C-alpha cells in the first residue's frame, strides 16, 4: 500500500512539473561537417531523473541534405534496462538542418546539445518522456558501415 501511495504521489508531482521544449543541437569543428550527417547511425544512452534510471540502445537513418541543408531522420530506441515507467520502445521521424557544421534537429521532445565528427558523436540534455515528465539524458553514437 505504501508503494502505491508513493507512486501515486510521484505521478501527481510529475504531472505538475514544467518541462521546456527546444531542439537537439550538434556542432562539429571539422571542415565540410554537413557532408557527414547522411547515413546510418547507432548509439546507446541513459535517461535519469530523481526516481528512475533507464538505459537504451538505438539507431537512426539520416537522409541526404538538400541544397538548403535540410534533411530527415528516422530514430528507433529500445530500452535495455530500467524502470517500467520508461518507454520500452520509441520511433520518431524528425526534420533537421545543417549549416556551417551546426546541426539542429527540430523536436518538442526535449533539449539536447552535443558534438559530432565524421564517425562519432555525443550529446547531453533533457528529454521529455511523457506529459510533464522529463529525464536527464546522455548518449554516444557512431556511424555504421
In the chain, where are the structural domains located? 19-143
CB 27, CB 98: distance < 8 Å:
no
Residue 98: what are its φ and ψ, rounded to 5°? -125, 125
Cα–Cα distances in angstroms (integers) from residue 36 to residues 66, 103, 117, 120, 144, in the given order: 13, 11, 8, 10, 12
Longest dimension (CA), the chain: 60
What integer pLDDT is reported at residue 131 of this predicted model?
67
| Sign of the torsion formed by the C-alpha atoms of 85, 88, 93 and 97 | positive
* pTM attached to this predicted model: 0.78
Please give the average per-residue pLDDT across 52-66, as a whole number. Answer: 94
Instruction: Give CATH superfamily name and number for 19-143.
Output: Quinohemoprotein amine dehydrogenase alpha subunit, domain 2 (2.40.128.120)
Pairing of strands 120-130, 133-143: antiparallel
Pairing of strands 24-27, 89-99: unpaired
Res 33 pLDDT > 60: yes
Res 2 pLDDT > 60: no
Res 9 pLDDT > 80: no
Using pLDDT thresholds of 50, 70 and 90, give the confidence band for residue 51.
Answer: confident
Res 15 pLDDT > 50: no
Amino acid at each position: 500500500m505504501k508503494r502505491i501511495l508513493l507512486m501515486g504521489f510521484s505521478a501527481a508531482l510529475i504531472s505538475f512539473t514544467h518541462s521546456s521544449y527546444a531542439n537537439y543541437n550538434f556542432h562539429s569543428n571539422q571542415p565540410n561537417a554537413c557532408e557527414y550527417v547522411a547515413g546510418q547511425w547507432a548509439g546507446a544512452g541513459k535517461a535519469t531523473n530523481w526516481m528512475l534510471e533507464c538505459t537504451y540502445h538505438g539507431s537512426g537513418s539520416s537522409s541526404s541534405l538538400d541544397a538548403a541543408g535540410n534533411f530527415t531522420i528516422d530514430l528507433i530506441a529500445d530500452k535495455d534496462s530500467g524502470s517500467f515507467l520508461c518507454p520500452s520502445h520509441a520511433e520518431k521521424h524528425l526534420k533537421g538542418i545543417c549549416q556551417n557544421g551546426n546541426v539542429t534537429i527540430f523536436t518538442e521532445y526535449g533539449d539536447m546539445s552535443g558534438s559530432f565528427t565524421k564517425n562519432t558523436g555525443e550529446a547531453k540534455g533533457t528529454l521529455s518522456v511523457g506529459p510533464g515528465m522529463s529525464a536527464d539524458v546522455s548518449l554516444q553514437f557512431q556511424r555504421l558501415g
